[in-house]
């Protein structure tokens, strides 16, 4: 079973529905016991970084995330959920994140004269092979909605980038922890394949 963390932020039901459509058992939960007993865990999210962190901490879900990650079970953050895995965000000042992965979240520069938030389809540039991307081709697009982007500290953690005025780190993996800046549940067949690959990692 795959648990989707409910902390009051994110496209919870759309992620759950996507997994059900793929034939996997999934549930949305804010029960730490249910989440820690799952085979794999997803941290979704949309909205502001500071609010996301506050809600995680208020619900006690930050501690649950740490327990899952430390257990070695597959864990993936989606959009804001991915950003929260890192050390801090410039959004709303300098707001501390979970610090599970090294890196920071920065605003897409106004100097690029691009539309912010970045909304739409962008090509994924695959940096290295990864089980999350099994059976995906080089000509792969995903759906983004964000104003802030990840700058990972260690390049070996980066699986994919995309270009939106600058190169942006959009898929990461270190050990059992994965993250996508885009929304797999909104990224058509590409996103469904990524969710399928994540589920298969959890049942190996």
Looking at 91, 118, 160, 185, which residue is catalytic? 185
Alpha-carbon separation of residue 95 from 54, 148, 161 (angstroms): 10, 13, 24
**HSE (side-chain half, CA atoms, 13 Å) at 190:** 19
Kindly state the DSSP code that residue 114 receives in the 8-state scheme: -
User: Cα(86)–Cα(12) distance, rounded to whole angstroms?
Assistant: 21
Q: 149 with 106: CB under 8 angstroms?
A: yes
Q: Is 91 a catalytic residue?
A: no
Q: 78 with 45: CB under 8 angstroms?
A: yes
Q: Is 185 a catalytic residue?
A: yes
Looking at 16, 79, 118, 146, which residue is catalytic? 79
Q: 45 with 10: CB under 8 angstroms?
A: yes
Q: 91 with 148: CB under 8 angstroms?
A: yes
- What is the set of active-site residues? 79, 183, 185
């Amino acid at each position: 079973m795959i648990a989707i963390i409910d902390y009051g932020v994110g496209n919870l039901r759309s992620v759950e529905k996507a997994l059900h459509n793929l034939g996997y058992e999934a549930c949305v939960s804010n029960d730490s016991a249910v989440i820690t007993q799952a085979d794999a865990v997803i941290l979704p999210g949309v909205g502001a970084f500071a609010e996301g962190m506050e809600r995680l901490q208020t619900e006690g879900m930050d501690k649950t995330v740490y327990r899952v990650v430390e257990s070695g079970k597959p864990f993936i953050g989606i959009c804001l959920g991915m950003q929260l895995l890192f050390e801090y965000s410039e959004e709303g000042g300098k707001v501390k994140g979970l610090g599970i992965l090294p890196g920071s979240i920065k605003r897409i520069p106004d100097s690029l004269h691009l539309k912010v938030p970045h909304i739409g389809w962008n090509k994924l540039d695959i940096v290295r092979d990864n089980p999350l991307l099994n059976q995906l081709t080089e000509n792969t697009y995903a759906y983004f909605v964000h104003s802030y982007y990840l700058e990972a500290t260690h390049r070996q953690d980066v699986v994919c980038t995309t270009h939106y005025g600058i190169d942006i780190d959009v898929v990461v993996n270190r050990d059992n922890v994965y993250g996508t800046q885009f929304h797999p549940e909104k990224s058509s067949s590409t996103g469904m394949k990524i969710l399928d690959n994540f589920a298969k990692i959890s049942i190996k």
